[in-house]
């Protein structure tokens, strides 16, 4: 049972899917929050089969009456659906969303709440940085991925570390559950802001995001999730300011077609190879000035081009599907 009768100020909502260890680390971090426990609650919504249910049953936060859980049919959830289930079950007037692969600092919730009180009715985004315990992986792995938003509010309004007034969520109906894979957080923020809500940052509300590494085929498969992004930009044309030249998701994407053309045609006309220069300048990783480092950077550049091409292909498919243009 929740603590509806008490003076809860903020509910933390965490969607989770098959990430029991990371979720455990998040719960451990929440256990160390400086905000007194009678002022907040935690709602975990998951559709996992990996021991998550046992974790949320037995974690000390559950015994302390802080943690409530909701379990969906295994494999039926999405981040949007789980977050919606979570905030609708929550009891506080403020809803802080955290993902199951972040690790907030002990003062995270306290700082987020302070910013929310200083800006009534506003969306409050906390700062997110790659987990320093995994920083070396981020530095050295060619296909490492994390979330970095050190100076909020950022353009993407990632839901891994953000707070919404409950009233704002109710007004727009929460996350759009038809956006299952990516961009649902940006879409929600755009809809809430369109109703006049403010959007502020709380740089001291710091959470660390896990670093994931991928094989090249693995990252190409992972990139398929971005197919819903063109839909978000179609719905919210004002967001196109974030895109390069109003169309390209990333600056590298703008340079990639010319680079591919230059490489393909340089045998006919060697000068055409210069078409690849802008892309190389933007995409070449920095691996030091040692010859081995340069060879490595060149090898990684090829992999990066493959990843960029896969992202662009996903954007093309999304653009066709949603009848808009984003590359």
Partner 1 sequence: MSEPLRVALLSPCFFPEVRRGTERIVRDLADGLIERGHRPRLITSHPGRASRTVEDGLPVIRHRRLFDERLSRRWYQQYLTHVPFSYASLARGDDELAHAFFVTDAAAAVRWSARSGRPSVFSYMGLPDRPVLADRRHKLRLLEYVTGGVTQIVVLSQTAADGMWRWLGVRPRVIYPGVDLGDFTPEPAERAPEPTIFCAAAPDDARKRVALLAAAFALVRRERPDARLVVIRPNDPATVRRYGLDQDGIEFLDPVDEPVKLAPAYRRAWVSALPSYREAFGVVLIESLACGTPVVGARSGAIPEVLSSERVGIQFDGEDEREVARCLLDGFELSQDRATAGACRERAADFSTARTTEAHLDLYRELLGR
Report, in Å, the least distance between residue 46 CB and partner 1: 15
Contact footprint for partner 1 (CB under 8 A): 20-21, 24-25, 28, 51, 54-55, 103, 131, 133-134, 136-137, 139-141, 210-211, 213
Of 274 and 295, nearer to partner 1 (C-beta) is 295
Residue 283 CB: number of other CB atoms within 10 A? Answer: 22
Of 163 and 210, nearer to partner 1 (C-beta) is 210
Helices (H), the chain: 20-31, 52-58, 60-63, 79-89, 108-118, 135-140, 166-172, 184-194, 216-222, 229-235, 251-265, 277-283, 291-322
Report, in Å, the least distance between residue 296 CB and partner 1: 9
Report, in Å, the least distance between residue 60 CB and partner 1: 9
Distance of CA 50 to the CA centre of its chain: 22
Of 21 and 181, nearer to partner 1 (C-beta) is 21
Of 137 and 272, nearer to partner 1 (C-beta) is 137
Terminal alpha carbon distance of the chain? 47
Report, in Å, the least distance between residue 21 CB and partner 1: 6
For residues 88 and 84, what is the distance between their CA atoms, to the nearest angstrom? 6
Of 198 and 218, nearer to partner 1 (C-beta) is 218
Omega of the bond leading into 283 within 30 degrees of 0 (cis): no
Of 31 and 177, nearer to partner 1 (C-beta) is 31
For residues 3 and 172, what is the distance between their CA atoms, to the nearest angstrom? 25
Map tokens 């905030």 to a residue. 87
Of 181 and 213, nearer to partner 1 (C-beta) is 213
SS (H, E, C) 266-294: CCCCHHHHHHHHHHHHHHCCCCCCCHHHH
Report, in Å, the least distance between residue 248 CB and partner 1: 30
Q: What is the largest CA-CA distance in the chain?
A: 77
For residues 327 and 252, what is the distance between their CA atoms, to the nearest angstrom? 11
Report, in Å, the least distance between residue 25 CB and partner 1: 6
Report, in Å, the least distance between residue 141 CB and partner 1: 6
Of 29 and 275, nearer to partner 1 (C-beta) is 29
- Please return the burial class of 292, using the count of CB atoms within 10 Å of its CB with bins 0-12, 13-18 and 19+: exposed
Comparing C-alpha atoms, which of 191, 325, 141, 136 is closest to residue 247?
325
Report, in Å, the least distance between residue 292 CB and partner 1: 10
């Amino acid at each position: 049972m929740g603590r509806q009768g008490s003076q809860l100020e903020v509910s933390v909502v965490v969607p989770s899917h098959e990430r029991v260890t990371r979720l455990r680390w998040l719960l451990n971090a929440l256990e160390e929050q400086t905000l007194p426990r009678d002022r907040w609650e935690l709602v975990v919504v998951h559709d996992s089969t990996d021991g998550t249910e046992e974790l949320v049953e037995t974690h000390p936060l559950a015994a302390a009456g802080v943690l409530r859980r909701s379990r969906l049919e295994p494999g039926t959830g999405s981040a949007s659906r789980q977050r919606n289930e979570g905030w609708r079950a929550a009891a506080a007037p403020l809803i802080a969303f955290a993902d199951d692969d972040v690790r907030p600092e002990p003062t995270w919730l306290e700082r987020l709440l302070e910013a929310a009180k200083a800006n009534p009715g506003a969306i409050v985004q906390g700062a997110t940085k790659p987990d320093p315990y995994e920083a070396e992986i981020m530095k050295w792995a060619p296909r490492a991925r994390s979330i970095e938003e050190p100076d909020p509010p950022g353009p993407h309004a990632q839901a891994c570390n953000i707070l919404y007034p409950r009233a704002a969520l109710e007004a727009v109906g929460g996350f759009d559950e038809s956006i299952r894979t990516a961009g649902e957080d940006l879409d929600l923020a755009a809809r809430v802001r369109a109703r006049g809500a403010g959007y502020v940052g709380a740089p001291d509300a710091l959470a660390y995001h896990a670093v994931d590494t991928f094989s090249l085929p693995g990252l190409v498969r992972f990139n398929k999730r971005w197919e819903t992004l063109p839909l978000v930009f179609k719905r919210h044309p004002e967001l196109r300011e974030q895109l390069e030249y109003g169309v390209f998701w990333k600056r590298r994407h703008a340079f990639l077609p010319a680079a591919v053309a230059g490489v393909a045609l340089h045998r006919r006309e060697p000068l055409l190879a210069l078409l690849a220069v802008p892309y190389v300048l933007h995409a070449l990783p920095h691996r030091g000035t040692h010859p081995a480092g340069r060879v490595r950077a060149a090898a990684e550049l090829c992999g990066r081009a493959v990843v960029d091409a896969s992202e662009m292909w996903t954007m093309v498919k999304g653009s066709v599907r949603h009848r808009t243009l984003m590359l």
